[in-house]
A and B are shown apart, each in its own frame.
Chain A
Amino acid sequence: MAKLNILTFPDPRLRKVAARVTVFDKSLENLTSNMLETMYAENGIGLAATQVDYHERIIVIDVSEDRNEPLIFINPEFKILNDKSLLSFSEGCLSVPGVTEEITRPDNIFLTWQDITGQRHEEEPTGLLTVCIQHEIDHLEGKLMVDYLSPLKRDRIRKKATK
């Protein structure tokens, strides 16, 4: 296992769109365990492969209090089931250190993904987990939490980051 280096905003590599995972082998297993190690070491609740400069559709998450419920989602996709159900949480991001901002997201989604063996799953997550999944899937699309902020705040963060 090894801890990976996390890219930080405004690194252009964070804007790459990740490709679907098609091979479920030992190297995928290694990558996800390194991602989990990195996430735990940095005290994050989620990490997308994009953030560690692997541009494949892989996210790891642990939203449990005791940090002992690791989740791995390969090729995750979601549909919004109800646009009359919203959450507005204060989000932070390992790629945008030192910044937390309130972001509004749909609470009621239908999620499909594959596990590390390629097996398909589906679920309707809610609450913190659904926020975290959407945040990480955004990374796979090259989208960052700063994109949800007003232009003023985004510029301030960019200025601080490039100092």
Chain B
Amino acid sequence: MRILFAGSPGSAAQILKNLATHECEIVGVISQPDKRSKRGGKNEPSAVSAEAIKLGIPLYNPKSIDEDFKETILQINYDFLVVSAYGKILPSWLLEHPLVAPINIHFSLLPKYRGASPIQSCLLNGDKKTGISIMKMTRGLDEGPVYSLHDHEISSLSNKIDLENELVALTNKILFKSLLAIFNSSQKPLEQDNDSATYCNKITKASGMVSFLEEEAEHIFRKFKALNGWPGLFFHRNGIDIKIHGMAVQAPQNGINISDNFTFSKDGIIIKTKDSSIVITHLQFPGKKIITASDAANSYADFFAN
């Protein structure tokens, strides 16, 4: 079984690394060109490029998928193209070249969460279950027919990074077996039910902004878990974006008047939401250290006064 692999980030590198331990030949790896690193002038290869170099596999980093690249790739024969978060749109000739099929690993149970942020989206929606789809790639956005779906339960404490690690581990458990089944039995994939498809957008800095009075407490809490690491969760007040580092969902309490926006209590800053309230226990002003809510009550009383 011969495989051409395409991918870029760390999760894809883990999948490549695992695939290389099985009985198959990885004939080449396609990945995004090296990024100029933020500090210092040295260019930084993508995680997948670095793994390919370590494994001694021929590496292609085309800036654009042009005629030259096409000529090079069409000279190679392989059974599968396996794609995991490559980050460029693939032309028809590349999808048609594998002898068996072009395969994509998508981190959701398709047709749910087609698009760029399936992991964050299932956390934002408070789903109890997600999984991975082994799909035959087509030109459309995650619209290809599906060979197999693999369920994964989401624990109530899981955040984005936990879930990504778990889904990579699940992929490594099933991918080679799935490829083998497709290879040996010429298994036919099933078309997705396009009517029940949902889509998710790329996460941006703005995704982390909270508008307390327009969002439900539970939703704000889910955002905290889904966006941890990057971009994190922020709220805007007096022209400043303040980052939230600790929060809890709180049932409405008797005796505390939360008709105002910000109320300081022994548990933290109680903030009214669309449906009830949340408590912020730790926060951070731009360029400052993380502080507790009681520090904020002392140092920033005027800032929070209505």
Contacts and interface: CB of A to CB of B under 8 A. Distances in A.
A88 B232 contact: yes
A12 interface: no
A88 B248 contact: no
Interface string A71-95: 0000000001011111111100000
A85 B248 contact: yes
Contact of B47 (A82, A86, A88, A152): A152
Contacts of A89: 245-246, 282, 290
Interface stretch (A16-24, A44-52, A99-107, A113-121): A99-107
A151 interface: yes
A107 B248 contact: yes
Contacts of B246: 85-89, 107, 127
A102 B230 CA distance: 9
A83 B13 contact: no
A27 interface: no
B224 A88 contact: yes
Contact of A152 (B11, B156, B225, B232): B11
B304 to A, nearest CB: 19
Contact of A84 (B9, B47, B249): B249
Interface of B is mostly: mixed
Interface residues of B, number: 31
A149 interface: yes
B165 interface: yes
Contacts of A104: 159, 224-225, 228
A87 B281 contact: yes
Interface in A55-81: 80
A90 B290 contact: yes
A57 to B, nearest CB: 23
B14 interface: yes
Chain A interface size, under 10 / 10 to 19 / 20 to 34 / 35 or more? 20 to 34
Contacts of A107: 246, 248, 281
Contacts of A149: 161
A150 B292 contact: no
Nearest to A107: B246
B13 A84 contact: no
A153 to B, nearest CB: 7
A88 B228 contact: yes
Given A87-B281, A88-B224, A88-B245, A106 B229 contact: no
B168 interface: yes
Given A104-B228, A151-B10, A152-B9, 20 more contacts: A80-B157, A84-B249, A86-B248, A87-B245, A87-B246, A88-B228, A88-B245, A89-B245, A104-B159, A107-B246, A127-B281, A127-B282, A149-B161, A151-B13, A151-B165, A152-B10, A152-B11, A152-B47, A155-B10, A155-B13
5 contacts: A85-B248, A104-B159, A151-B13, A155-B10, A155-B47
